[in-house]
Structure 1
Amino acid sequence: MLHSMTGYGSDKFTISDTAYEIIITSLNSKNIDINIRIPQILKSLEIDIRNLLVNKLIRGKVDCTINYDMQKGSPAPKLNENVLKSYLEQINNFSFKYQTSEMENPLATLIKLPGVLEIDKNTLTTADLDIIYKSIENVINQVIEFRRQEGEKTQKDISDKINKIKINTEKIIELKEERDKKIREDLINLTKQLPDNIEIDHNRLEQEILYYLDRLDINEELQRLTAHLAYFEKELQDNVNLSKGKKLAFISQEILREVNTLGNKSNYLAIQQIIVNIKDDIEKIKEQLNNVL
């Protein structure tokens, strides 16, 4: 079963007088790219949250945001004067060194920087942290379910396209004998256009025709294409490995390689028209696989 890399999940809960909201979104990416935005009070949990996201979501551009809103009666944040003083000194030194103008109302800006306002971490108990972790896991499971549903739709669409490609491949196989006959007739007709005073060695001509047909033979390409399509379907239906977008993309590239070779060697309009349709479906599949886990 395919899983998409697109996902969404959210949860809200309250601890004491503080309301929390967790939002996790996921988009396609070549690897795992985690971006976490959490309040200072939860900074100590960031590594654990990151590891959880990596292990559960595997691949994608993942944004995890935790917002909180302290209600009336919640412990007020405390101003860390040492941190604020350090920020001010750095800004003043920078302004003096590079002769820049001083900030207007710097406190309004500095108050938003990490570490300036603190909440006593002791206000979060083990039970509180357990609630937070369970909520994060709940949101991650929502994202996974979202991905599964999106992946199910994508898999059906890709499977339909693979079936179309298989049908078109069978059409090419059916046209092959007709195509070989047409190439042979065209070569013989070319010899008939030669001047009458040129003597033709018919045995040699037959050898040359066979040699030319052998160079244009598409049996191997058709066999490999059929094998690649069967392998693609096998991997598509595999329910053991959830992360297979890259592997399927590689197989689709091999399918396209054989189809391109068929197009170059076919030398027959009816087959070339079918190949155009096959290539169109392959390109659509490759585009869809960009968002598959």
Structure 2
Amino acid sequence: MIRSMTGYGAATVTAEEGAITVEARSVNSRGLKVVVKAPPGAERWETELRALVESRARRGRLDLYVRLETASRAEGRALDEARVREVLDACVRLRDDFGVPGEPDLASLLRVGLFSREAADEAEFRPDSEVLKRVAGEALDLLVEMREREGARLEADLRERVVGIRRAIGEAEELAPQRLERERDRLQGAVAELAGKGLDEERLLREIALIADRWDVGEEIVRTRSHLEAFEEFLAAPIEEPVGRRLGFLVQELQREVNTLGAKANDPRISRLVVEAKNEIERLREQVENVE
């Protein structure tokens, strides 16, 4: 089973002092890159949060957002009377000195911001480290669950592509001997027409043997099947084992073997099968880029 590198999870805990919210997001990356974004003064938690991430992910860029909200932040706000007088005086000046029509209304004044946050600042929320780690762990667990669900969908699609490649290769293997037979008959007819009754069968057989050697696709087909078997084995590996890079390497090897097969095809039907296999390999490559 495999995991995707794309996921999201969020968790919140509310206490008397305030609320902690942690969001975890992950996207594709060549390795593991952890970015912790926390409020000013909360940098002391970064090492512990990074360790939590590394215990649950091996690849991907993972952003961890920590938000703290003090319980008194909303209820502790007080009307800033000096600010109110300042704004009202400015409104009077605009009307009397600059001729701006209209009177200040409550809705407009509230949009300006007339409340002090001093009470909230005095009661700054500093959560316990263990509580924060618990919330972060819950968010990361949800992210991992999403990565596993997406990984299951990826695996189903990858296996379908493997079936398509295997079918195309099998059909190409069946067609390969027929092109040699056609080439042998063509050469025999051409040589007989040119040489009349003096046809050198032994030399003709040697020429056909050389062509057969150049056109032989047996090794490419064997190696392609071997890579497909290894690909499926990695798909079935334990979920804790990251296999994305190995799958990517196998996709490169599959591409190389199928390209060689296409170069040796010398048959329009085999060439069409090679194109089909290449299309499936390209889909493998696109999907594997998101595998952890």
Q: Same fold by TM-score, threshold 0.5 exceeded?
A: yes
List aligned pairs for 1:131-210, cutoff 5 A: 131-192=131-192, 194=194, 200-210=199-209
SS in 2 for 1:266: coil
1:263 paired to 2:262: yes
Q: What does residue 45 of structure 1 align with?
A: 45
Residue 248 of structure 2 corresponds to 249
- Letter of the structure 1 residue corresponding to residue 225 of structure 2: T
- Does structure 2 retain, via aligned residues, the 8 Å contact 1:41–1:120? no
Deviation at 1:193, TM superposition (A): 5.3
- What percent of counterpart residues are identical? 29
Equivalent residue number for residue 281 of structure 2: 282
- The Cα offsets for residues 25-80 of structure 1, whole Å up to 9 and x where unpaired, read as 00001111111110124211111111221232111011111112223279x9xxxx
- 1:216 is displaced (CA, Å) by 1.1
Instruction: Report the residue type matching 2:263 in the other structure.
Output: N
Report the equivalent of 2:226. 227
CA distance in 1, matches of 2:220, 2:182: 20
Structure 1, unmatched stretches of 5+, are 77-117
In structure 1, the residue corresponding to 2:264 is in which secondary structure? helix
Q: Give CA-to-partner distance per residue, 1:72-114, whole Å, 9 cap, x none.
A: 279x9xxxxxxxxxxxxxxxxxxxxxxxxxxxxxxxxxxxxxx
- In the aligned structure 1, how far is the partner of 2:202 from the partner of 2:171? 33
Please state how far the C-alpha of 1:268 moved relative to its aligned partner: 0.8
Q: Contact 2:20 / 2:135 at 8 angstroms: preserved in 1?
A: no
- The CA distance in 2 between the partners of 1:140 and 1:187, in whole Å, is 68
CA change 1:227–1:149 in 2 (3 A) is same
Structure 2 CA distance for partners of 1:119 and 1:196, relative to 1, 3 Å = farther
From the CA coordinates, give the structure whose radius of gyration is larger. Answer: 2
**Match in the other structure for 2:129:** 129
Unaligned 5+ runs, structure 2: 77-120
Match of 2:20 in 1: 20
Secondary structure at the aligned position of 1:267 is classed as: coil
**Corresponding position of 2:108:** none
Cα–Cα, structure 1 residues 73 and 214, in superposed 2: closer, same or farther, change >3 Å?
A: closer
- 8 Å CA contact 1:17–1:73 kept in 2: the answer is no
1:88 maps to none
Q: How does 1:110-125 map to 2 (within 5 A)?
A: 124=126
Contact 2:36 2:64 in 1 (8 A): yes
**What's the CA shift string for 1:114-149, capped at 9, x where partnerless?**
xxxx8888x646xx3221111111111111100000
Alignment correspondent of 1:86: none
Q: Secondary structure at the match of 2:35?
A: strand
Query: CA 1:48–1:119 in structure 2 vs 1: closer, same or farther (change >3 Å)?
Result: farther
Give the deviation of 1:246 after TM superposition.
0.5
Matched residue, 1:97: none
The number of equivalent residue pairs is 249
Q: Provide the aligned C-alpha RMSD in A.
A: 2.5
CA distance, structure 1, for counterparts of residue 62 and residue 126 of structure 2: 26
Post-superposition Cα deviations, 1:162-216, rounded to whole Å, max 9, x if no partner, equal 011111211112112212212222333443453769x543211211111121111
* Equivalent residue number for residue 211 of structure 1: 210
